[in-house]
A and B are shown apart, each in its own frame.
Chain A
């Protein structure tokens, strides 16, 4: 008789009901294993889009934990809830009208001044970013630091939910990165030059030649291409 390779099952509480889930599954797969179908709160399934923000508690542990459902595997006794999205007001701004004066971010999001450095945002970030630090950097106009620290933000919205000062941290980080890209980081001159060169039609001839070739002629050219 063939031995069955038993995958241990764990208890996971979804929508308050207990399910037995094979361990090793991500939270997202666990919910689908239990029979739920995602109509919200799922996106890239690869840890990049921030759609699957999940809050959970472990058995006998009072601490609130957070995770991206597509990136975290199940734990025995996990009691979870998912956030479909975070209600937030995004300021409408025209990048052409902005500058990087010390109050650049305060102007668009004056609520940053309410930050009490409680660190609730940092504690809940599933990407383990230093959220409080980048909000504080924004408060004092240090755009580079704010852009740098918020770089890996996936905009899941958990920070905004936990903030007692009602700041929408990820929007602030987004603006900081935009300002940084537009005003602080050096321009990619080689890209600009390349675009100018292209627009001047330098490659037009070559491309016209390629367009009329047959498939096996193109294949030959490709095989013979120069590789650095």
Chain B
């Protein structure tokens, strides 16, 4: 099955690894992520005011691109890897469903584009893995079980809040945990799994991000996690950068690697894991030590 895929700016730059791994994983699981032929920024944050429409244009344009490609591929789905893209696209889409007058207004303004009909279904890559493929099928395809590897699935906020766009339980999500268990990993239950990482405050108030990260990482480490797994490129960046600072300040005594779920999936599902494990020495060491390899 071919899914129209929207990368977003970050997946092409600092989040490159996530995209590369996801493409590979898709191939191994029998589907394909087909990038929209042309795209613009998604808007990143959903504008929460009741009057401004300009900030919704970016997302609307993306949805129109998905609509165009959807006709070609005969689907109304749009898959994204980035949690923030997912959140803003889904919230804008929902806003148009609840406010047809706003959709009318935006279509009138974007007269150079075709009208957005409001029918796109936005899915996060996790949803595709869980709902369309399923942990059982993923388990069958495992080549390297991640035996005894202790992983901490960290969701962050954008996938599960507000409730209207959540595809998993808001307080006790299980989708990532189920997939990681299917890979044979030892999944840790971290109560801080849906706590915010600080998001854009990394720019204006780094201290706030350090506080958030400490709260999340402290528990992760006290429960013995070997690594933290996350789907969001900003969470990955924030947690990694914050740990560096926290370590320098002596507030944590070691730094837990933070990697994308797609990277771990690639290592576990690929025939070529020898090649990939070279880049992830810390995982290779752990698996060898604990009998996984």
Q: Which residues of A contact B (CB under 8 A)?
A: 102-103, 115-119, 122-123, 132-133, 136, 139-142, 164
Of residues 47 through 79 on chain B, the ones whose CB sits less than 8 Å from some CB of chain A are 54-55, 57-58, 61
Interface size class of B (residues with CB under 8 A): 10 to 19
Could you say which residues of chain A place their CB within 8 Å of the CB of B54?
Answer: 116, 118, 164
Chain B residue with minimal CB distance to A142? B12
B99 within 8 A of partner (CB): no
Which 10 A/B pairs are nearest by Cβ-Cβ distance?
A: A102-B13, A140-B9, A117-B58, A136-B40, A117-B40, A117-B61, A116-B54, A118-B57, A117-B57, A116-B57
B38 near A140 with CB under 8 A, answer no
Could you say which residues of chain A place their CB within 8 Å of the CB of B38?
Answer: 133
A140-B43 in contact given A116-B57, A118-B54, A118-B57 (Cβ < 8 Å): no
Q: How many angstroms between the C-alpha atoms of A159 and B153 in the bound complex?
A: 46
A140-B12 in contact given A117-B58, A132-B40 (Cβ < 8 Å): yes
Q: How many angstroms between the C-alpha atoms of A175 and B54 in the bound complex?
A: 27
Q: How many angstroms between the C-alpha atoms of A48 and B13 in the bound complex?
A: 35
Could you say which residues of chain A place their CB within 8 Å of the CB of B112?
Answer: 119, 122-123
Smallest CB separation, A48 vs chain B (Å): 26
Could you say which residues of chain A place their CB within 8 Å of the CB of B14?
Answer: 102
Chain A residue with minimal CB distance to B56? A116
Could you say which residues of chain B place their CB within 8 Å of the CB of A132?
Answer: 40
Chain B residue with minimal CB distance to A102? B13
A139 near B13 with CB under 8 A, answer no
Of residues 1 through 55 on chain B, the ones whose CB sits less than 8 Å from some CB of chain A are 9, 12-14, 38-41, 43, 54-55
Q: How many angstroms between the C-alpha atoms of A102 and B14 in the bound complex?
A: 8
B110 within 8 A of partner (CB): yes
B9 near A139 with CB under 8 A, answer yes
Could you say which residues of chain A place their CB within 8 Å of the CB of B110?
Answer: 119
